[in-house]
Structure 1
Amino acid sequence: MGKKMYPQINNKQANLVDAPPSYEQTINQHPYPTAPTAPSTAFIQPPIHTQQPQQQQQPPIILVQTLHPLGPRPCVLVCPSCHQQQKTKVRNESSIKTHIFAGILCFLGFCCCACLPYCMDTCRNTNHYCSNCNAYIGMYKK
């Protein structure tokens, strides 16, 4: 156990500095060279712009999409996805209103009738889909 695991290095032999520079030395150093200052009487000529032929700007293209009012039944319209005129497919889905009606029926003691709002299309929202590409088109809320 007489041997040391790591050899000792003499700082003077390795040219190592004992301590980092002081705060004042660090602050007084300029990390970036400064540009030479121009005399205050110097005149800087503005850049000369040459006339280039102006290009005709085309007006932006604005797409206007007519929204058809959707109802509880299928309707014929142009699909915004496939651009085909098709009759929509409808699917009725339950909404918050459907759940509230069922809850009110249960609260009033008509638990046997609580399933009626889920069976009646008039208590559910109607979602419209394209019959060609099955894209969602819109909803008719009741």
Structure 2
Amino acid sequence: MASPQYTAEQPQYHTEQPAMQPIQEKNYPQQGLPEQPMAQQPVPANNFASATPLVSLQQGPAPVDCPVCRVRQMTRVEFVSGGTTHLIAILCCLGLCCGCVPYLTTWFKDVEHKCGNCGALLAVWHRSGRVEVIAHATT
């Protein structure tokens, strides 16, 4: 005996697509606006994307917006003797008789930040971690 074979009928779908027609270019009337060249952004003289706030300055140089000359420039740093330097010198003098060591190294000195463009004193970073802002915006 032969077993009957069952065949599943596949549904037939219509897959006819309309013929694609080429797109024709149409000439639309101008709106009457004169052609203007694209406005170009001024290119900064430096490549600093953001500036560091003066109150956030640390030991090293950082890009700042100078409130005096209004230019974004990297600060110049200069190590100067401050209160911490003098205190360490006194302690070294009393204990080891070498009070000149703190004045010869930058480890115990404060850092003055000056504008890289105009040279104005902007802020002083003290060894204690406090930042003293010197330059204020001029009107």
- What's the counterpart of residue 75 of structure 1? 62
How big is the shift at 1:119? 1.9
TM-score normalised by length of structure 2: 0.50
Structure 1 unaligned segments of length 5 or more: list them.
1-65
| Structure 1 residues 90 and 118, CA gap change in structure 2 (3 angstroms) | same
Distance 1:80 1:133 in 2: 11
TM-score normalised by length of structure 1: 0.49
1:85 to 41, 62, 72: 72
RMSD: 1.3
What is the total number of aligned residue pairs between the two structures? 75
2:112 pairs with 1:124: no
Distance 1:98 1:133 in 2: 28
Distance 2:80 2:73 in 1: 22
For 2:92, give the aligned amino acid.
L
Structure possessing the higher radius of gyration over alpha carbons: 1
How big is the shift at 1:97? 1.6
CA contact (8 A) 2:81 2:110 kept: yes
Distance 1:68 1:97 in 2: 20
C-alpha offsets along residues 90-138 of structure 1, whole Å, 9 cap, x if unaligned? Answer: 1111012211111111111x12x32211122120110000011111110
How big is the shift at 1:69? 0.7
Structure 2 unaligned segments of length 5 or more: list them.
1-52, 128-139
Of Structure 1 and Structure 2, the greater helix share is in 1
Distance 2:120 2:99 in 1: 33
C-alpha offsets along residues 25-66 of structure 1, whole Å, 9 cap, x if unaligned? Answer: xxxxxxxxxxxxxxxxxxxxxxxxxxxxxxxxxxxxxxxxx5
- What's the counterpart of residue 126 of structure 2? 141
For 2:58, give the aligned amino acid.
G
CA contact (8 A) 1:68 1:77 kept: no
How big is the shift at 1:68? 4.9
